[in-house]
Amino acid sequence: MMNYLVVDDTHIQIAFGVLGDVTSYETYTSGELQGVKLGGKNMVMTHAGELVPAYSETERRKNKASVEFHKNGLVKGVLLEEQTEIETPIGTLPAEYVTFYPTGEIHRVFVADGKISGFWSEEDEGAYNIPLSFELDFAQFTAKTNGICFYQSGAIKSITLYPGECITLNTKSGSFQTRIGFSLYESGQLQSAEPAEAVIIHTQIGRFSANDPNAIGINADSNSLSFDEMGRINKFSTVSNRIAVQSEDSEFLLLKPEQKIHPLYDDMKITQAMVLYFDFENDTVTIVNDEEHTFSMSACRFTVQSLQTDVLGCTPEDCASCSLCHSKNKEIQ
């Protein structure tokens, strides 16, 4: 279904009016208007207020549409002419780029959205990124952000930090710092975070060093360390531990992170994090390296060791995270 009408060479009629000074436009393969670039001032009405889409070229400007559209004709994103105070579910925020759900609600807000290049560094861009303050149940901080994502209800879904920023999060398992950011449940509880460095965590099968050094911080919607709404760790990644498992039928398995060829360099290898998922309702743990294994936490026995340990065996320092010769480790946080 067409969601636009070309009036003439520089004007396009859309759902909420007419855009003028159109220099170019793109459509979806199915024919609907996808985006337009503008060469003059226009006003676009959105849930964030009246916005002025970008129409001038600057050294920071990214090569993308001034206004993007969903297939239903509603605005999907607006690249702003200049940093503007917009209305959001958490109050007024500065923004250079804002996106919307197909139903119109604000999806993401970017305080700064400049193009990083050989002529414009992250440090240069950081000067345009205004620090924001947040008061959450698990964190109080002021930092530069690389995007704030909202649920359609208006609740914060995730906060991605600007490169170089680091904040402290407080959980039932203790406090730790995050470098990429974190996500939240719609209730406001912490859902996931990316540790800035390896953190020691206590689980029902033992004590681990948790982090994923290969995590890519495009956004903080999903991270390597996750919690359920009760604050229990239900997923994490490790590159530092291996696990010896004695299954229900007395089978013995040794699971550890796998070595993979670096995606950019054929002569280099990286350690791919091993991921553990906890299902408390069904009393299971699923361990994923190059394969996926699911075990009963109560019926199986687990020994957790440092990956640097050359010989698998019992030492006094292993006792805190071992259950092969004792009952389950009770040091759960």
What's the mean pLDDT in 126-142?
97
Whole-number average pLDDT of the chain: 91
Residue 71 has pLDDT above 80, yes or no: yes
Q: Residue 24 has which token pair?
A: 């170019």
HSE value, Cβ hemisphere, 13 Å, CA-based, for 160: 19
Q: What angle do CA 7, 13, 15 make, to 5 degrees?
A: 160
pTM beyond cutoff 0.85: yes
CA distances from 118 to 60, 121, 218 (A): 11, 7, 20
Task: Name the percent of the chain lying above pLDDT 70.
Answer: 92
Return the pLDDT at 309.
Answer: 44
Q: What is the pLDDT of residue 170?
A: 97
Average pLDDT of 125-140? Answer: 96
Give the separation between CA 185 and CA 37, rounded to whole angstroms. Answer: 36
Burial of 78 (0-12, 13-18, 19+ CB in 10 A): buried
| Residue with the larger pLDDT of the pair 50 and 315 | 50
H or E element, residue 264: none
Report the alpha-carbon distance of residue 63 to residue 26 in Å, rounded: 13
Euclidean distance between CA atoms 160 and 324, whole angstroms = 41
Q: What is the pLDDT of residues 73-88, one digit of tens each?
A: 999 999 999 999 999 9
Strand residues in 30-166 grouped as ranges (E): 33-38, 44-46, 49-51, 67-69, 75-88, 91-100, 106-110, 132-136, 139-143, 145-150, 156-161
Residue 317: pLDDT over 80? no
Quick: pLDDT tens for 4-60. Answer: 999 999 999 998 899 999 999 999 999 999 999 999 999 999 999 999 999 999 989
Instruction: Tell me the C-alpha distance between 300 and 245, whole Å.
Output: 7
- On the question of pLDDT at 312 being above 60, the answer is no
- What mean pLDDT comes out for the span 197-224? 92
Lowest mean pLDDT among 46-50, 283-287, 329-333: 329-333
Range in 133-142, 180-189, 210-219, 285-294 with the lowest mean pLDDT: 210-219
State how far the Cα of 80 lies from the Cα of 43, in Å rounded to an integer.
10
- Contact by Cβ (8 Å): 231, 172: yes
Residues 6+ apart with CB under 8 A from 248: 295, 296, 299, 300
Per-residue pLDDT band at 214 (split at 50, 70, 90)? confident
Q: Residue 97 forms beta bridges with which residues?
A: 79, 110
Please tell me the predicted confidence (pLDDT) of residue 1: 67
Q: Which residue has the higher pLDDT, 152 or 310?
A: 152
132 pLDDT exceeds 80?
yes
Q: What is the mean pLDDT of residues 155-181?
A: 95
